[in-house]
Amino acid sequence: MKKKRQWFMCLGMIGVFTASVILSVFGQRKVKAQLNTENAGKITSSWADEKHIFSSFDDEKALSVDASYGFKMHATDQTKTIIEAGKKAAKLPEIEMPDFLKKYTWFQTSQNTAGNIKIRKTNMEIYQCKADGSNGHWEKLDLVMTVTGIEKYKNQDGYVAIGSGINGCAYVGIEEMTLKSDFYKAGTNTPVTIKSNMTLKDIDTYQYIGIKANKIHGEYVSKNTKLSCKRSGETSIYYADFPDNYSSEDFTCVGFTFASDSFEYTFGRSLEKAPTKEEQYVGYGQNMIRFDPVDPTKEVIGEDGTKTEHLRVQDLAKSWDYEVSQVIAGEIPKAHYFDKFAFEDQIESCLKILDIKVYGDDEDVSSQFDISQNGNLVRAELKNPKDAEFYKKSVYKLKIKVKMNIPENASKEQLDQLRKIWKEHGHYNTKETMITEKNTAKTIINDKIEMTNEVRVDIELPKENVDTPGLLIRKETKQYEYQAKDEITYKVTVKNQNEKAKTAYFTIQDTSFASVMDMKLQDIKINGLDKEDYILQTENNGFILKSKGDYALPYGQTIEITYTVKSGVLTNGKVIDNTVSAWAAGIPETKASRQVYINSPKNNVIKLAPVQLYKKGDHVTYQAVITNPNPGTFMRNLEIQDELQAEGIKIIPGTVAVISGGKNIASECKITFDPSGRSYEIITPLALKNGTIPAMGSEEGKKTGSYENLRMTDKIEITYQAVIEEDGLEGQEVKNIMHVAATKNSNGDLIREDKEIPSGSGMADETIKVKAPKLQITKQSDKKVYAVGETGYYKLHITQGKEGMTAQNVKVVDEFEKEGMKVQKIEVKLNEKDITSDCKIDAKDHQFTIETGKDLGENDVMTVAYQVVFEKRIEGAVKNTAVAGSDNTEDDQDENTVVVKPPVLKIEKSTVHKSYKEGQSGEYKIRVTQRNENMTAHQVVVEDHFEQEGMEISQIRVKYNGEDITKQCEIIIDENLRKFKIITGKDVSDKDELLVIYQTAFKKMITGDIKNIAESYSDDADKVRDDQVVVMEAVQPALMITKKVDKTTYKVGDICEYQLVVTQTIKDAIAKNIVIEDQLSRNGAKVIKNSIKIYAPDGSDITRQCTITAGENKYVIETGKNLSYDEFIKVSYQVKLKEASLSGKTLKNTATGKADFVKPVSAVRLVKIKKESKSTVTTGNKADRSNTSEYKRSPETRDAASTPKTGDSFDEKWIFALLAASLGGSFIYWKKKKKH
């Protein structure tokens, strides 16, 4: 029997080889191999001792060994296979072999010798723990596999191989090979002692295996073993001294537990012939012993893959994985499968669980587990503990991805509440610069619950400084002092001072401007952040900047926010405190403030001279008061300029005084006079303030040093005298102007001139007069209200009021500001004497000028009388201004205002009804009167129109005081008959009445209000208006159709005469766009198109006005006509019975009447076509005489009539009744048709 078995060493597990040969019964091989199996004795009960123990893997009595030996070495994703010695074979042995052996690294013995074939497998991994399963940990190793022995048969060469997997080996064509495995610390040549186990199976058919290690802890066989054994030095040899071949029986197996930094095994076969050319290889074997479960372990894995028991996280946005690991002893027999296997982890309530997975040897096996989450309690229980696939993996891991449970877009209140909760849960360190999360988990295997080690995650928080949590925030401006309306640029910087932390879920907010009136936020610029990492909101005259999502600001990166605020007028004189704050998850709010002072002072100047009239030689005393009207502001170092703007008057230098606080400080000022003696300049040491200056009491203001040692005053008074030295100033004004300039503020900026604030310099002037004569004029009229056409009487009274003075060469100008009147009959008197003829008078319709050539002394009186005819209507008040002047006085004037009152028309509109139906007519009346007593509106006009279409105006009549004047009026009606204009040619006084009466026909249905507007006006009266609104009631029309034929029986070749009538039967309704359709039921009957005639309700032929579409046996008539109540349209036509196929048939003719939005109606007429035969006799048709009148119906002809219903039925039995009546005589029944 030919068989192949696999031997395998997997992290210290070695499987036994078998030969792929056909075996006969051999005796023990006499040829000596490298391992001598001679003298190997059968294993009996005497074999057992402390190290040699009977065990089994097929029942529950298998030996239980401490957990430290329960694990085997395996490769990792970092494992690499490196040939350190030996020449790899260029090709595989030319034999058939399993695919997995083809992946081994093969060496030819002809090219390589024992001790010079070496392979290193790097970064292997094994789990090690104490005997009780505690202190479990993974160790990284390099496994170096060296072929140390090759036993050739008669010096013949073959192949040896080292597995490309974990620890397999094989040979072809030799007798025996020895493979030594050395264990080193990964990446070094430092030996490492490991504890592990192996079970070798299928040792049969004269196979042998030799094991050598530093310390063999135990050797195990079954009580019924068939193996022999011997000890050769440090090597334990097990030999199958029998030819039988078995398959995985426990009596062919041997197990080992060992602790060593190396492991050597030799395998071969005792044969009596040369080796075959078939492969011998190492394969799998399962444990012959069982191990207690080890303690689970727990680690934390950071986002960068760092795995540790103590993880440091830079910010609260980071997530991490809790990894609970439970190592499973390899190749557990079925008898020892678990009854229960579960993970359980209580995640702390401040964490949010993002994902839960279970892995077996880094493969996702979550589907094999029932995973549940109850709150933050996570449990993953194996669904089927008896599934053999579960035990093929060496380690199972529960991975739970978590992060701090911080709500999305959390508000400050929410973050504050979280801080409170985290404090209550003890997550903060003493300085609150770090948050710690601790966690343990457990596994449940059968009834045993084992806890993991404790892991912790420390989350670094941003710091304002070394020991203070928070963000370092600063706010600054270019300067401290600004002026109102300035644009102030603020710069805010925010950063974290903890180099171990990043900042997540942060907010920077500046909304303090919301409480300051007149501050406008402009132009926010963000530096230090990418646009996709933040959200910026502007609201309440401020801004809120929030980090977006899980973005965290790195240490060393500064956020810079600049924005411009425009200070308004209302901020003037105030210090504006602005505070920006910043906070983030886990840390308290920090703030930074910046104060600015708004200073826009204004120099107000009031100047006066106590007396206004002077003469030569007089001393004029001038006084000026300078103040600042803006509270909280001040103007530095006041500078004053003063100038007299006339020659002949000079300032007296010694009279200038500068008063502040009741004291003359002129000596402390710099005063400079112009050589002309008419101006001077004063530079004072004073700052002009208003009230308390807030910057002086502010700590921020004091820090600037700009408000120290200032000499302040709230008011400065200037007094001085000037003397009138020269003649020629009589009657003239002498103006004096004082200007107080704006000076520079604390920053060296000139105070801005602004009228809105107000700010800047101040100026005032004072004018005195040198004595001169003064004219006075008064004006009056006889009435204040005139009618058009009325004459007004006006009078001017002119005097000179200064004692001892004379106004020379008096002149009078009088003018109306509007036209429409005529000035006439001007009369001028001086002291009651008529001087009209002495005057030069230039008069026009509405104005005049009089050059009197006369002087007026203090006792003289001049009068001017004239008349004004108000010829036309004048809108509004009529103002008239009279001006009197002379060569040596100022002009004086007086005004008089009158009203030329126009007539006022009144219009009233009425109609009989407030609602109408389509097709109805209504009477409208328009009444026009004049309301003002004793006034007349001339040439009255009346207009009227409807806003919508669909009605027609007719029968217009006009009455004047009851008399019909229609024919005297010009009446204009538009082409749509819904608008007219009547030019009456009549005047209407307050005792007259004008009446317009007309008819309106509502031709079509109109929805909504129908507004009719009437207006009236005249040449001298404003337009007046009255509206009338009516509505239309919708009435649904209905049709009735009747149809007649001249006979009921025809023969082929005859012509049928048809008539039909369509009538509208609903009162006050109109059926629109009447359409008539007619259809014959059989081919062979043809409508004669030229015979179709259509008649309107008035009986007129309208055939040519209709659209007729005729086919062989049908037609459609589109009349385009409407039908009112009881109106009808009549149609007559002929049908030719052409085809013989009609013989003996009944011909059905259906007529249908239609209109817009009206239910169609139909009428049906049937006629019989006689069946043709040779004996057919054509006779007259007396019975048909009853069809000559459209108003009569008989039972024989039987009109087909329809009221609003369709598809009228017809009982064909009437045909036979009618035929019988025609043979026996005619019975005529007359019925009077309702007259249309």
Judged against a pLDDT cut of 70, whether residue 729 lies above it is answered with no
- Tell me the mean pLDDT in the region 228-236: 88
What gap in Å lies between CA 502 and CA 1060, rounded to an integer?
A: 98
Q: How far is CA 147 from the centre of its chain?
A: 73
Cβ-contact 161, 152 below 8 angstroms: no
Kindly report whether the global pTM for this prediction surpasses the value 0.85: no
What gap in Å lies between CA 582 and CA 492, rounded to an integer?
A: 10
Winning range, highest mean pLDDT, from 236-245, 349-358, 766-775, 1170-1179 = 349-358
- Tell me the mean pLDDT in the region 819-839: 92
Cβ-contact 834, 827 below 8 angstroms: yes
Q: CATH for 297-460, among 3.20.20.140, 3.20.20.450, 1.10.3720.10, 2.60.40.740?
A: 2.60.40.740
- Return the sign of the alpha-carbon dihedral for residues 459, 464, 469, 471: negative
Q: Tell me what pLDDT residue 1198 has.
A: 40
Average pLDDT, the chain: 85
**Yes or no: is domain 775-901 CATH 3.30.110.30?**
no
Q: Percentage of the chain with pLDDT > 90?
A: 55
Q: Cβ contacts of residue 1053 below 8 Å, gap of 6+?
A: 1137, 1138
Judged against a pLDDT cut of 60, whether residue 1216 lies above it is answered with no
SS3 content of the chain, % helix, strand, coil (to 5): 5, 50, 45
- Tell me the mean pLDDT in the region 485-491: 93
CATH fold, domain 464-598, is: Immunoglobulin-like (2.60.40)
Q: Cβ contacts of residue 80 below 8 Å, gap of 6+?
A: 121, 122, 123
Q: Domain limits of the chain?
A: 41-88+109-291, 297-460, 464-598, 604-770, 775-901, 905-1027, 1039-1224
Winning range, highest mean pLDDT, from 202-206, 366-370, 998-1002 = 366-370
Residue-wise pLDDT for 494-520, tens only, equals 999 999 999 999 999 998 776 665 556
Phi then psi for residue 569, to 5 deg, are -65, -35
For 1209-1236, give the secondary structure using H, E and C. Answer: CCCCHHHHHHHHHHHHCCCCCCCECCCC
* DSSP output for 478-540: S-SEE-TT-EEEEEEEEE---TT--EESEEEEE-GGGGSTTEEEEEEEEESS-GGGEEEEEET
More confident residue, 707 or 73: 707
CATH fold, domain 905-1027, is: Immunoglobulin-like (2.60.40)
Q: Tell me what pLDDT residue 288 has.
A: 64
What gap in Å lies between CA 150 and CA 175, rounded to an integer?
A: 8
Phi then psi for residue 515, to 5 deg, are -90, -5
* Strands (DSSP E) found in 674-732: 679-683, 687-689, 712-713, 715-724
Residue 821 token pair: 């009147």
Q: Tell me what pLDDT residue 1152 has.
A: 95
Confidence of residue 1129 (pLDDT cuts 50, 70, 90): very high
Residue-wise pLDDT for 1151-1197, tens only, equals 999 998 889 999 999 999 998 764 443 433 433 333 333 333 333 33
Q: Do domains 775-901 and 1039-1224 have the same CATH topology?
A: yes
Q: Shortest CA distance to 1155 belongs to which of 1106, 1203, 1118? A: 1118
What gap in Å lies between CA 872 and CA 473, rounded to an integer?
A: 81
Tally of CA atoms within 13 A in the half-sphere of 221 that contains its CB: 27
More confident residue, 269 or 601: 601
Please state whether beta strands 341-346 and 503-504 pair in parallel, antiparallel, or not at all (unpaired): unpaired
Phi then psi for residue 1217, to 5 deg, are -60, -40
Centre a 10 Å sphere on the Cβ of residue 429 and count the other Cβ atoms it contains: 13
E strand or H helix that includes residue 182: strand 176-185
Tally of CA atoms within 13 A in the half-sphere of 246 that contains its CB: 18
Residue 689 token pair: 């303030």
Cβ-contact 575, 459 below 8 angstroms: no
Q: Tell me what pLDDT residue 485 has.
A: 93
Confidence of residue 1082 (pLDDT cuts 50, 70, 90): confident
- Tell me the mean pLDDT in the region 896-909: 87
Residue-wise pLDDT for 180-220, tens only, equals 999 999 999 999 999 988 888 778 888 888 888 888 888 88
Q: How far is CA 660 from the centre of its chain?
A: 64
- Tell me the mean pLDDT in the region 365-381: 97
If you classify domain 1039-1224 with CATH, what class do you get? mainly beta
Burial of 324 (0-12, 13-18, 19+ CB in 10 A): buried
- Tell me the mean pLDDT in the region 1134-1138: 91
CATH fold, domain 604-770, is: Immunoglobulin-like (2.60.40)
Confidence of residue 284 (pLDDT cuts 50, 70, 90): very low
Q: Tell me what pLDDT residue 277 has.
A: 60
Lowest-confidence pick of 526-540, 1102-1116, 1163-1177, 1203-1217: 1203-1217
- Return the sign of the alpha-carbon dihedral for residues 707, 712, 714, 718: negative
Residue-wise pLDDT for 45-59, tens only, equals 888 888 888 877 665
Q: Tell me what pLDDT residue 519 has.
A: 58
Judged against a pLDDT cut of 60, whether residue 709 lies above it is answered with yes
Buried b (16+ CB within 10 A) or exposed e, 613-650: ebebebebebbbbbbbebebbbbbebbbbbbbebebbb
Judged against a pLDDT cut of 70, whether residue 631 lies above it is answered with yes
Q: How far is CA 475 from the centre of its chain?
A: 32
Confidence of residue 275 (pLDDT cuts 50, 70, 90): low
Centre a 10 Å sphere on the Cβ of residue 445 and count the other Cβ atoms it contains: 20
Confidence of residue 978 (pLDDT cuts 50, 70, 90): confident
